[in-house]
Amino acid sequence: MKTLVWVEHDNSNMADATLAAVTAASKLGEVHLLVAGSGCRAVAEQAAAVAGVGKVHLADDAAYAHALAENVAPLVVNLMGHHDAFVCPATTTGKNVAPRVAALLDVMQISDILSVEGEKTFTRPIYAGNAIATVESTDAKLVVTVRGTAFDKAEATGGSAAIEDVASTGDAGKSSFVGAEIAKSERPELTSAKIIVSGGRALKDSETFESVIMPLADKLGAGVGASRAAVDAGYVPNDYQVGQTGKIVAPEVYIAIGISGAIQHLAGMKDSKTIIAINKDEDAPIFQVADIGLVADLYKVVPELTEKL
Partner 1 sequence: MKALVPVKRVIDYNVKPRVKADGSGVDLSNVKMSMNPFDEIAVEEAIRLKEAGKVEEIIAVSVGPAKAQETLRTALAMGADSAILIETDAEVEPLAVAKILKAVAAEVEPGIVILGKQAIDDDSNQTGQMLAALMDLPQGTFASKVEIDGDSVNVTREVDGGLETVKLTLPAIVTTDLRLNEPRYASLPNIMKAKKKPLDMKSPADYGVDIAPRLKTTNVSEPPVRQAGVKVADVDELVAKLKAMGVA
> Which CB sits closer to partner 1, 151 or 161?
151
- For residue 54, the SS3 value is coil
Q: How many CB atoms neighbour CB 245 within 10 A?
A: 11
| Of 18-26, 27-35, 63-71, 80-88: span binding partner 1 (CB under 8 A) | 63-71
Q: Which helix (H) or strand (E) segment is 302 a member of? A: helix 298-308
Residue 217 one-letter amino acid: A
| Of 26-34, 35-43, 156-164, 299-307: span binding partner 1 (CB under 8 A) | 299-307
**110 forms part of the interface with partner 1 (CB under 8 A):** yes
Q: Taking CB under 8 A as the criterion, which residues in 126-145 touch partner 1?
A: 126-139
Binders of partner 1: how many residues, by CB under 8 A? 89
Q: How far is the CB of 69 from partner 1 (least distance, A)?
A: 6
How many degrees, rounded to 5, is the angle at CA 254 between CA 208 and CA 24?
Answer: 130
Q: How many CB atoms neighbour CB 7 within 10 A?
A: 28
> Which CB sits closer to partner 1, 3 or 191?
191
**174 forms part of the interface with partner 1 (CB under 8 A):** yes
Give Cα 123 to chain centroid, integer Å.
17
**162 forms part of the interface with partner 1 (CB under 8 A):** no
**65 forms part of the interface with partner 1 (CB under 8 A):** no
**164 forms part of the interface with partner 1 (CB under 8 A):** no
Q: Cα–Cα distance between 182 and 155 in angstroms, integer?
A: 27
Q: Taking CB under 8 A as the criterion, which residues in 11-40 touch partner 1?
A: none
Q: CA-CA-CA-CA torsion for 271, 274, 278, 281, nearest 10 degrees?
A: 60
Q: How far is the CB of 161 from partner 1 (least distance, A)?
A: 26
49 CB-contact burial (10 Å; exposed 0-12 / middle 13-18 / buried 19+): middle
Q: Taking CB under 8 A as the criterion, which residues in 229-288 touch partner 1?
A: 231-232, 237-239, 244-245, 247, 252-253, 263-264, 270, 274-276, 287-288
